[in-house]
Structure 1
Amino acid sequence: VILIGWIARRIGVIPEEFSEPANRLVFYLAIPAMIFRSVAKASLTSQLHVGVLAITLSALLIFFGVSWAAAAAGHLERRRFGTFMQCCFHGNLGYIGFAVSYYFLGEDGLAQTGIIGGFTMIMQNLLAVIALNLKTDEPEAGKNRMKIFLNVLANPVIIAAIAGIIFSAAHIRMPIIVSRTIDILSDLALPMALLLIGASLTFDVMRHGIASVMTSTVMKLVLLPGVGFLLYRLFGISARAYLPGLILLASPTATISFVMAKEMDGDAQFAVSAISASTVLSAVTISLWLNVMK
């Protein structure tokens, strides 16, 4: 579906002026509806694995340090330093992680992924803000930092996950008309999201620091989920239980990384290259991770 989106963009079936409003529709309505529906229907007592959640968040924290060390070892210039770091751990959970989870694990698996994903999104966004401020000398950075922090808290996917957890914990039943409206929006989410991911891919700026781009891509797609995998196994968690967390860790670099880099005086061109490279290569690496788990 991603490939179809890329082809459709190249031949003009998906024009540039369509992508931005369609992306807003998916981000603000369709994906939040899908996550809310799945999490609200879930049983927190049986579908929230505290161990998986703790290890998933721990893997992100560990990899924050690893990416910091890698950026320092590579002597990256100021604007690229924090952008490289966030591209190593900031995953595209909403468009890729949840889609893979739904198609590979089904509705129950998506519910588990949605619960873990809500906390993971908060963690990785906060770490991204910290990374982008490590080397900044931009006088407006403080204002932008607070703006992005507030945007993180207002992220519709995070709000949907939290609302779903509340509905599930309180056993709240929705009126049928509301439930069916959410179902219709939910069914729109994944196909539209995958088409838009394909339509947004670009490799025009790949020549800008290809070594750093490929390094961040390997770290995001192979090393980060590898750290999570080792921790899951070390603590004796079954593959069935940790798959939702592993899928989230194995997701490619988030598209919002570009927005954050641009807003916080990072290297926006590098972010675009890393997003495109990791998204394309994730088709291979995620398949390999899932096959290893079989």
Structure 2
Amino acid sequence: MQVFSTIIPIFAVVILGFIARRKGFMPPAFLEPANRMVYYLAIPALIFKSVAKASFVTEFNVTVLLVTLASALTAYLGAWIIGHFTRWPPGRIGTFIQCSAHGNLGYIGIPVAFYFLGPSGLAKASILAGFLMIMQNTLSVLALQTHSLGAADTGKRIREVAEKLVHNPIIISAAAGILISLFQIPLPGVLQRFLDILSGLAPPMSLLLIGAALSLQVMRKNIGSVMGAVAIKILLLPTIGWVCFTILDVPVKAYLPGLILLATPTATIAYVMAKEMHGDDAFAVAAISTSTIVSAVTYMIWLTVVGNGG
């Protein structure tokens, strides 16, 4: 089956990254620069290439975009409400909210779309990812900022957030690719080959880095409270999207890239954001690790049930 032949190799590479770190093949000194290289160079090259080569008029679906964004927004609001019924400290509530809805679009969503749907699906997913990433980062920062005990200057933090969004490499690459596609600007052959080489690094390296970041010890320590965030992120959130797509009678081939993005596990950047904005960074690590492992199963379910319908 295509689902198994796609998902099993992807998460086999994630497990390989986990083993490689434990065996010393990917030491801590290697992880940070490798992560920066993938985040700032390889993934933007992959997204730019896939969007620029696609027909924006053909690949863009405004209904799919609006449902995808609305589903993510609903998850944020739901997690916000749930968090306020707990007795957790503010830092954990803010981290819980972002871990419940902030998906790993670049390192998991884009590779899954690429390997399962091919170039056309990758182009659709990349266009959606640009818009979704803006909303995710904005709402995650708002959640953390609102529940941050250490926040001193709200205005300054808002300016910093806006600046980070403007300089986000994935957002920039998606926007640039959209402009190239929209105005049908041809790319020189030399540039296309350069992007082919550089973007080829993104899927395997990002999966290895996800595996290297997994922490079973932190997962066990926080498993009870973290399962709520995991359930919202990889079960409830894609279910909301799927129900809305079905009600609106959107074709499966049109919405599957959006569903793949909605079903992503918690983004690795959730840890960085929690640490920088006085959240619960240990909770973030547990949510990232747990949701990544469980998503291997949920992706197979989603792609089997929904993908076969397309």
TM-score (norm 2): 0.92
1:254 CA drift (Å)? 0.3
1:45 CA drift (Å)? 1.1
CA contact 2:151–2:277 (8 Å) conserved in 1? no
Confirm whether residue 237 of structure 1 aligns to residue 288 of structure 2.
Answer: no
The residue type equivalent to 1:173 in the other structure is P
Task: Give the equivalent residue in structure 1 for 2:22.
Answer: 10
Aligned with 1:224 (options 224, 237, 258): 237
> Aligned with 1:140: secondary structure?
coil
CA RMSD of aligned residues (A): 1.2
Confirm whether residue 161 of structure 1 aligns to residue 179 of structure 2.
Answer: no
Write out per-residue CA displacement over residues 48-89 of structure 1, whole angstroms, 9 at most, x where no aligned residue: 011000000011111111111111122321110110000000
CA contact 1:89–1:124 (8 Å) conserved in 2? yes
The residue type equivalent to 1:112 in the other structure is K
Q: Distance in 2 between matches of 1:105 and 1:280?
A: 22
> Aligned with 1:209: secondary structure?
helix
Question: Mean Cα displacement is larger for which, 173-182 or 87-96?
Answer: 173-182
1:153 CA drift (Å)? 2.2
CA contact 2:91–2:149 (8 Å) conserved in 1? no
CA contact 1:145–1:264 (8 Å) conserved in 2? no
Q: Distance in 2 between matches of 1:160 and 1:273?
A: 30
> Aligned with 2:44: secondary structure?
helix
Q: Distance in 1 between matches of 2:54 and 2:127?
A: 9
1:207 CA drift (Å)? 4.4
Q: Distance in 1 between matches of 2:228 and 2:46?
A: 33
CA contact 1:255–1:275 (8 Å) conserved in 2? yes
> Aligned with 1:12: secondary structure?
coil
> Aligned with 1:204: secondary structure?
helix
The residue type equivalent to 2:179 in the other structure is I
CA contact 2:75–2:233 (8 Å) conserved in 1? no
Q: Distance in 2 between matches of 1:99 and 1:139?
A: 36
Task: Give the equivalent residue in structure 2 for 1:282.
Answer: 295
Confirm whether residue 137 of structure 1 aligns to residue 149 of structure 2.
Answer: yes
Write out per-residue CA displacement over residues 108-139 of structure 1, whole angstroms, 9 at most, x where no aligned residue: 10000000110000011111011112222324
Could you list the runs of 4 or more consecutive aligned residues of structure 1 that deviate by over 4 angstroms after TM superposition?
Answer: none
Task: Give the equivalent residue in structure 2 for 1:212.
Answer: 225
> Aligned with 1:73: secondary structure?
coil
The residue type equivalent to 1:250 in the other structure is A
- In structure 2, the CA distance between the partners of 1:141 and 1:213, relative to structure 1 (3 Å rule), is farther
Q: Give the alignment of 1:9-158 within 5 angstroms.
A: 9-140=21-152, 142=154, 143-158=156-171
> Aligned with 2:218: secondary structure?
coil
Q: Distance in 1 between matches of 2:275 and 2:153?
A: 11
Q: Distance in 2 between matches of 1:166 and 1:208?
A: 46
The residue type equivalent to 1:185 in the other structure is L
Q: Distance in 2 between matches of 1:11 and 1:63?
A: 38
Structure 2: unaligned runs, 5 residues or longer = 1-12
Task: Give the equivalent residue in structure 1 for 2:194.
Answer: 181
1:141 CA drift (Å)? 5.1
Confirm whether residue 201 of structure 1 aligns to residue 214 of structure 2.
Answer: yes
Q: Distance in 1 between matches of 2:305 and 2:153?
A: 43
The residue type equivalent to 2:54 in the other structure is A
Confirm whether residue 249 of structure 1 aligns to residue 262 of structure 2.
Answer: yes
- In structure 2, the CA distance between the partners of 1:145 and 1:273, relative to structure 1 (3 Å rule), is farther
